[in-house]
Copies of this chain bind each other. A is one copy, B any other.
Amino acid sequence: MKVLTKNTDYAIRALLALAAEKGSYLSAKAIASGQDIPYQFLRRLLQEMIRHNLIVSKEGARGGFMLEKDPDAITVTQLIEIFQGKVQVSECMFRKQICGNRSRCVLRHEIMRIEQVVQSEFEKVTIGKLLRDLEAANRK
């Protein structure tokens, strides 16, 4: 069971690169080579993050991407939601479709609790926190 897909993994690394470059534009090419992410794949992820107002871009030569939001306001939970959909332990209860035993479903209760736990754990992890950890590790 793999919780984070490449989408999210790459997005996190890209945001870290942008957060480190605070204030100036960084090109997709530079991020891709620096973080070892497939270029065209990364470009799509960046577009998606623009749509969600996490970053902004400047077109043309010397253009690139820049962080828009406060790094501490970007949580891994948000990124999971963008790239993998909302955290849901079991599917059935989010659909109107009756799951056959919904009425006597004991799982539902447990499931919702665990969903909350997972979500809130990933909420504690922000780009800002990761960046500080990264910088601390590099100083050593």
A45 touches B (CB below 8 Å): no
Please state if B88 and A1 are interface contacts (CB–CB under 8 Å): yes
Chain B residue with the shortest CB-CB distance to A114: B121
Number of this chain's copies in the complex: 2
B-chain residues with CB within 8 Å of residue A130 when the two chains form the complex: 106-107, 110
Please state if A3 and B88 are interface contacts (CB–CB under 8 Å): yes
User: Which among A3, A110, A115, A138 has the greatest number of chain B C-beta atoms within 10 A?
Assistant: A3
CA distance A85 to B3 in the complex (A): 11
B-chain residues with CB within 8 Å of residue A137 when the two chains form the complex: 104, 106
Q: Chain A: interface residue count, which band?
A: 35 or more
Please state if A1 and B1 are interface contacts (CB–CB under 8 Å): no
Please state if A91 and B2 are interface contacts (CB–CB under 8 Å): yes
A117 touches B (CB below 8 Å): yes
A87 touches B (CB below 8 Å): yes
B-chain residues with CB within 8 Å of residue A100 when the two chains form the complex: 35-36
**Partner-B contacts on A (CB < 8 A):** 1-4, 9, 12-13, 35-36, 80, 84-92, 100-101, 104, 106-107, 109-111, 113-115, 117-118, 121-122, 125, 130, 133-134, 137-138
11 pairs, A vs B, C-beta closer than 8 Å: A2-B89, A2-B90, A3-B87, A3-B88, A3-B115, A4-B91, A4-B111, A12-B107, A13-B101, A106-B134, A110-B130
